[in-house]
Amino acid sequence: ESVVNRIAAGEIIQTPSSALKELIENSLDAHSRNIQITVKSGGTKYLQISDNGTGILRENLPILCERFSTSKLQNYSDLQSINTYGFRGEALASISLVSRLSIQTKTRDQECAFKVKYENGAITEGPTLVAGNQGTIISIEDIFYNNPIRLKTLSLPSEEFQRIFEVTSKYAIHNHQVSFSLKKFNENNSIKTLPSDSPVNIIRTIYGNEVANSLIDINCADTKLKFEMSGFISNGEYSGKKRHFLCFINHRLVESKSIKKAIFDEVYVKILPNSSHPFIYISLEMDPKNIDVNVSPTKHEVNFLNEELIVSKIRETVEEKLLALRE
Ligand code: ADP
Ligand code: MG
């Protein structure tokens, strides 16, 4: 059984950046206003995320890394109306199966913080009383130390770092009221400090003036199809070194092949061939009932009801907006 669990864990946690995505979502679920990330060797040696959220109750620590341990889903009908990122209770369990995990946490009402170490779903040390502020600090050391094959599939630390940078940037843009920082271990200067600001200014800090100055906002909604979209896209004059596609559905960072194809291939490439590397940030909101988040264990690729109709509505909106600029 532990082999089966470890295989499942390896599907959820594929790289340091996929662990980080889960941890950022947990921090956001816990209403954090400040999220600080520290990494060593692109997260392959060490990855820490520190937040000022609600913290975890002492009594939940022993079961925290058991599979399907979650505080966010009380019964099956909740699945229909999930408004937190997590609900499977699989992330921490998986991380504890593929790394050395340590957690320090303090809730508002506790006097002190507790520190606990986990391996393979169970506590190996603690809970120990320590001094600390409200919130949670999660540290992952030596990811895949017990899986040499998976360890080999990791990219160079610089490339893993780039992925961490991208994930952090995307969440910082979408959660612009939360401040984020990203730094390398043992270096005092942050790589990026992203205080709470407007989304466009956060995009400016991360991707530069050229991108930020090219942005136009897009919105559309359809009451029948029950969805709303907002976001920013670069105008037809901008074309970067590579494509940027930030897509959130109900605040989850997702992959959507159908939206990507519609915007890139059917709009930019077709009508603005000189702008084939645009910047796209869209946020879609729809009835949680209409979304199938169970497609993959990583919850990245998402399918939703009326997908074709909604995607063509998005494509039309982007197309109209860009064509209007040319006139
Ligand atoms: P899920 O998010 O699906 O519930 P996780 O394995 O990601 O499962 O997390 C398990 C539980 O640990 C969460 O339900 C939550 O109660 C708690 N937790 C994890 N990270 C944090 C955090 N940063 N702040 C507060 N609670 C947290
Ligand atoms: Mg989670």
Question: What is the identity of the amino acid at 101?
Answer: L
CATH at 179? 3.30.565.10
- Residues 227 and 187 both lie in one domain: no
157 belongs to a structural domain:
yes
Ligand 2 centre to CA of 22 (Å) is 5
Please tell me the number of the ligand nearest to residue 138's CA.
1
Q: Determine the distance separating the centroid of ligand 1 and the alpha carbon of 71, expressed in angstroms.
A: 7
Q: Whose CA is nearest to atom 18 of ligand 1?
A: 26
Report residue 96 as tokens. Answer: 């504890």
Q: Side chain identity at 295, as an amino acid letter?
A: V
Pocket of ligand 1 (CB under 6 A): 22, 26-27, 30, 51, 53-56, 64, 69-72, 86-93, 136
148 in Cβ contact with 7 (< 8 Å) = no
Per-residue pLDDT of 153-173, as tens digits, reads 999 999 999 999 999 999 999
Determine how β-strand 252-253 pairs with β-strand 244-249. antiparallel
CB contact at 8 A, 116 and 125:
yes
Please tell me whether residues 179 and 225 are part of one structural domain. Answer: no
42-54 burial, b for 16+ CB within 10 Å, e for fewer? bbbbbbbbbbbbb
- For ligand 2, the distance from its centroid to the CA atom of residue 88, given in whole angstroms, is 7
Calculate how far, in angstroms, residue 182's C-alpha sits from the geometric centre of ligand 2.
20
Domains of the chain: total = 2
| CA dist., res. 119 & res. 100, Å (int) | 6
Confidence at residue 69, expressed as pLDDT on a 0 to 100 scale: 64
Q: What is the pLDDT of residue 3?
A: 67
Could you tell me if 49 and 115 are in contact, meaning their C-beta atoms sit under 8 angstroms apart?
no
Distance 26 CA to ligand 1 centre (A): 5
- CA–CA dist 29, 39 (Å, integer): 22
Claim to verify: residue 109 and residue 6 sit in the same structural domain: yes
Q: Can you list the alpha helix ranges (DSSP code H) found in 118-218?
A: 148-153, 157-174, 199-207, 209-213
Which CATH number goes with the domain that contains 231?
A: 3.30.230.10
Q: Which domain holds residue 48?
A: 2-194
**Closest ligand to Cα 136:** 1
Amino acid 76: pLDDT: 45
Q: Whose CA is nearest to atom 25 of ligand 1?
A: 55
Inter-residue contact 298 to 11 (CB < 8 Å): yes
Is residue 204 situated within a structural domain?
no
Q: How far is CA 54 from CA 57, 78, 287, in A?
A: 9, 21, 27
Which residue's C-alpha comes closest to atom 11 of ligand 1? Answer: 70
Between the CA of 223 and the centroid of ligand 2 the distance, in Å, is 31
Predicted-assembly ipTM surpassing the 0.90 threshold? yes
Residues 6+ apart with CB under 8 A from 273: none
* 106: its two tokens: 């303090």
Distance 310 CA to ligand 1 centre (A): 32
Name the residue among 71, 53, 54, 55 with its Cα closest to residue 63: 71
Atom of ligand 1 nearest to the CA of 89: 8
Cis peptide before 127 (omega within 30 of 0): yes
Is residue 37 within 8 Å of 182, Cβ to Cβ? yes
Residue 80: predicted pLDDT: 47
Would you state the pLDDT for residue 75? 46
* Ranges in the chain, pLDDT < 50: 75-77, 79-87
Name the residue of 20, 22, 26 whose CB sits within 8 Å of the most ligand 1 atoms, as the mutation to test its pocket.
26
What does the block give as tokens for 315?
Answer: 């494509």
Contact 268, 280 (CB under 8 A): no
Claim to verify: residue 177 and residue 65 sit in the same structural domain: yes
Instruction: Answer with the one of 139, 168, 194 that is the final residue of a domain.
Output: 194
Q: Which ligand is nearest to the CA of 60?
A: 1
For residue 22, give the ligand 1 atom closest to its CA: 7
**Do 178 and 79 fall into the same domain?**
yes
pLDDT at 141: 98
Question: Domain check: are 179 and 241 in the same one?
Answer: no
Query: Is residue 69 a part of any domain in this protein?
Result: yes
